[in-house]
Chain A
């Protein structure tokens, strides 16, 4: 199975901060990676697909980068509504696997 190592597991930030979250795959997954946001009581929401493409309706302050084994989600200027948990997902090979998640908390 492909292991997805996500870091950090949590971070504290303020509105306006630049936030970076990383996922590392245990083997080459090309660009077969998505980033998602999850809030309590809501369905998980896809932010980024194929490593760097913005999902429909997602604000441009979110961006993704990377290829192969190392990937990054960046929030350029954190907004109040961005305090949430973020996770990555690889769909290169079965079984589909997930990062452990990053909780973005208010500093």
Chain B
């Protein structure tokens, strides 16, 4: 059974940083692309970022490019999202999600999702 467990969410002030983590089990983590998706009150479901198996290819939504950094540790089956210069509109539930194969230039499908972690940005 594929399981994804996100952690690291919380309440922060505008301009502050936060690092989300996701540990994956029951899945060939090191061979597949990974993704972050968020659900925000303003935009509904929004894709945030994707990373290839080797970390060579990374992609970001325009709304987070330059502020968020996706990374992974294949030895620990872990995915990360470092978020800096956080804004109120970044508030929402952040989901870690797997892809069934690696991604290169074009996106890979998204299959399994975690329960999500809440990020709140407020002064």
A residues with a Cβ closer than 8 A to B are 32, 34, 36, 41-46, 49-50, 55, 87, 89, 91-98, 100-101
A89-B110 in contact (CB<8A): yes
Write out the residue numbers on chain A whose beta carbons fall within 8 Å of the beta carbon of B9. Answer: none
Q: Within the assembled complex, what's the spacing in Å between the Cα atoms of A50 and B100?
A: 12
Please give 20 more A-B residue pairs, beta carbons under 8 A apart, in addition to A49-B109, A93-B106, A94-B107.
Answer: A32-B107, A32-B109, A34-B111, A43-B4, A43-B112, A43-B114, A45-B113, A46-B111, A49-B100, A49-B111, A50-B109, A89-B45, A89-B110, A91-B106, A91-B110, A94-B50, A95-B47, A96-B110, A98-B44, A98-B46
CB closest chain-B residue, reference A87 = B45
Main secondary structure on chain A at its contact with chain B?
loop
Q: Within the assembled complex, what's the spacing in Å between the Cα atoms of A50 and B45?
A: 20
Write out the residue numbers on chain B whose beta carbons fall within 8 Å of the beta carbon of A95. Answer: 47, 59, 61-62
